[in-house]
Structure 1
Amino acid sequence: MEHKIIVVGIGPGSKDYILPIALKKIAAAKILVGSERALADYAADGQKTAPITADIQAAIAFIREESQQEDVVVMVSGDPGYYSLLAALRNEFDISRLEVIPGVSSMQVAFSRIALPWQNADLMSLHGRLPDYASLAYEKGRVVGILTDAEHNSQRIAMLFLDAGWPPNTPVFVGEKLSYPDENMVQTNLIRATAEPAIRHCIMVVTG
């Protein structure tokens, strides 16, 4: 018998931002998969666990094997629908086997910190991805939210936007460690961001 694969969003990091239904699913799990940090935060004695590492296929093989016997709960950071393992799981398993519990994404937190509605924002990820330069084109009033990484950090991304024709004084907000006690939210502009210390693994919001 094939069991359910329950993909649970655990929020941006702080336990204050995880939904009660997500905690219930995690607590009830017999098989629990997630990052090493997530397992350290949420796994309990008696649960069979496996980490999600750079070897995604190893995690999928574990899920496939264990889901023949029990439901498997897969913890992903933020919201499962936003750049998570859910896309890979959809490619491997029938959708009828997937149950998804939403979570709060770091992108949502970033926009909330600057009290800015995000329904009309363009969202993109440069986390492990090369930029699509056409998508960076300047338009007055355009709002862009970006996931970053070590290479595409706040300095590099500011340079990319300037190269794409954005005005140097365009406001930029850079959020790191969002939801944690040492959270840092910086307000600057594109030209200053190219000279200020680079912030890696953050959320940038550019407001044209």
Structure 2
Amino acid sequence: MCKILIFGGTTEGRLLAEFCHENQVGAWVSVATGYGKRMLLESPFLRIHDTPMDAKEMEVFIRENEISLVLDATHPYAAEVSRNILHACTASGTKRLRILRESLKGSSGGEHVVWVDSMKEAIRFLNQNTGNVLATTGSKELECYTTMEGWEERVYARVLPAVSVLTACEQMGFKGNRIIGMQGPFSEELNRAMIRQYDIRFLVTKEAGHAGGFLEKLQAAASCEITTVVIGRPINEEGVGLEEAKEILISRKPAKTSSCKGAIYLIGTGMGGLEQMTVKALKTLQNCQVVFGAERILHDMGDLSPDVLKLPYYLSKDILPWLNEHGDYKRIAVLFSGDAGFYSGAEKMAAALLEEPYCELYETEILPGISSVSYLCARLKTGWENVRLISLHGREWDLLKELKSNQRIFALLDKRNSVSALCSLLEENGYEDARLSVGERLSYEDERITRGTPGTLKNQRFDILSVVLIER
């Protein structure tokens, strides 16, 4: 269960999220932008919230998701966001840890570095000196530079290349040739190249530590013998470092026990409804707590039990995240139409469940159902031991090649590979005497089985998802 919430959007937040993934620790990660979300890896252990929240919204989110630990890994200069997180945690009674970025103040300096306490003080210093300025303090601080004397001709703004950011720069009056839209990290060499190209005399930055490319800026400025104006961190905070935070996350990871291993059953429901299922599959289904499947299949199952939770998902990308959030459910069924072993999604689902962590959490069993080929041949009173089985349902298959070497072929059809298209193909290639048995809505009340030749069937209308037995 995700009882941990990481406020990220920073390198530390990303590293903590990756640590959770690697160590199978479930966590929510909150970022303020879609860009922040794209920087995070996709993981069955991570759930992403990618819109900004104020203090009250944070409190509601924490309460609704029953968060027990909040890690504030926001930027060292995001003072307002950190205050909101603190207020939300205090109001909800939730434990909060501030993740501190190592300060580099005092480790670098010299004659080329000027330390100031605020943007206002930085602007005052720049007004007292002449020369071009490279602003690397972020788009939110850019408006401060517009109070400088002659800022239009002095300031070059290095910002993220997002449309919203570039638009905001232009609205503040920054001209296109004064906006450098680039995504870091920036190496010392790249910083040097920018300093030289734009004849920079002052580089303005925040003291963001190793994660913010701070040292690379200092080194590049020193190499080019220009001045770095460093804005110190706004507040002194108490908290823990990145490594200590990782140890805390590991300590909160629940120990694995073999006794809590669950079971997932991949069940073929046959050709429709409870009557077409095997007795074992039906008994297993009736004892499950959660049942996944396409809406049509769930409807066909009828009322299993008032305690059974039915969810209309049948793809692993939807089911696996749900499992990560609901580990208290131990008997789970995923339903597939027909036979789970005959061109079924059960194969991909089984493969996904063999991966970590699911192979450790669940035993997986496949229970077959009555396939469409078995059902149709039974209705035709014929065997199917010598029938070649193929699928033209969303697949490419050389049917003519199969006809040359097989007397009887059973095929699943779709909208493109329809009965009409199949009949035309057979007629055009000398198989006009072939016998076709087309099955529609097999096992349902409106079931229809139609027999004929390509010529007699090609102009008739059939269900898109028909099946056909071709006898050469």
Instruction: Give me the TM-score of the superposition, normalised by structure 1.
Output: 0.86
Count matched residues. Answer: 205
2:334 alignment partner in structure 1: 74
Structure 1 residues 72-111: aligned runs within 5 Å: 72-94=332-354, 97-111=363-377
Determine which of 432, 441, 456 is the counterpart of 1:192.
456
Q: For residue 339 of structure 2, what is the amino acid of its counterpart?
A: D
Answer whether contact 1:136 1:161 (CA < 8 A) is retained. Answer: no
Q: Per the alignment, do residues 142 and 93 of structure 1 end up closer, same or farther by CA in structure 2, a change over 3 Å counting?
A: same
Q: Per the alignment, do residues 47 and 199 of structure 1 end up closer, same or farther by CA in structure 2, a change over 3 Å counting?
A: closer
1:153 alignment partner in structure 2: 418
1:35 alignment partner in structure 2: 294
Distance in structure 1 (CA, Å) of the matches to 2:320 and 2:466: 27
**What are structure 1's unaligned runs of at least 5 residues?**
none
Q: Does structure 1 residue 24 correspond to structure 2 residue 296? A: no
Q: Per the alignment, do residues 60 and 205 of structure 1 end up closer, same or farther by CA in structure 2, a change over 3 Å counting?
A: farther
Q: Does structure 1 residue 9 correspond to structure 2 residue 273? A: no
CA shift for structure 1 position 151: 2.1
RMSD over aligned CA atoms reads 2.3
Between the aligned residues of both structures, percent identity stands at 23
Give the stretch that moved more between structures: 93-102 or 111-120: 93-102
Distance in structure 2 (CA, Å) of the matches to 1:76 and 1:117: 24
Higher helix share: 2
Q: Per the alignment, do residues 67 and 149 of structure 1 end up closer, same or farther by CA in structure 2, a change over 3 Å counting?
A: farther
Q: Per the alignment, do residues 159 and 67 of structure 1 end up closer, same or farther by CA in structure 2, a change over 3 Å counting?
A: farther
Q: Which one has the largest radius of gyration?
A: 2
Q: Does structure 1 residue 119 correspond to structure 2 residue 388? A: no
**What are structure 2's unaligned runs of at least 5 residues?**
1-259
Answer whether contact 2:272 2:300 (CA < 8 A) is retained. Answer: no
Give the stretch that moved more between structures: 196-205 or 62-71: 62-71
Instruction: Give me the TM-score of the superposition, normalised by structure 2.
Output: 0.40
CA shift for structure 1 position 70: 1.0
CA shift for structure 1 position 138: 2.7
Q: Per the alignment, do residues 65 and 80 of structure 1 end up closer, same or farther by CA in structure 2, a change over 3 Å counting?
A: farther
Q: Deviations over 1:94-149 (max 9, x none)?
A: 2782211111112211111112211111111111223335644434x610001111
Spell out structure 1 runs of 4+ moving beyond 6 A: none
Q: For residue 411 of structure 2, what is the amino acid of its counterpart?
A: I
1:49 alignment partner in structure 2: 310
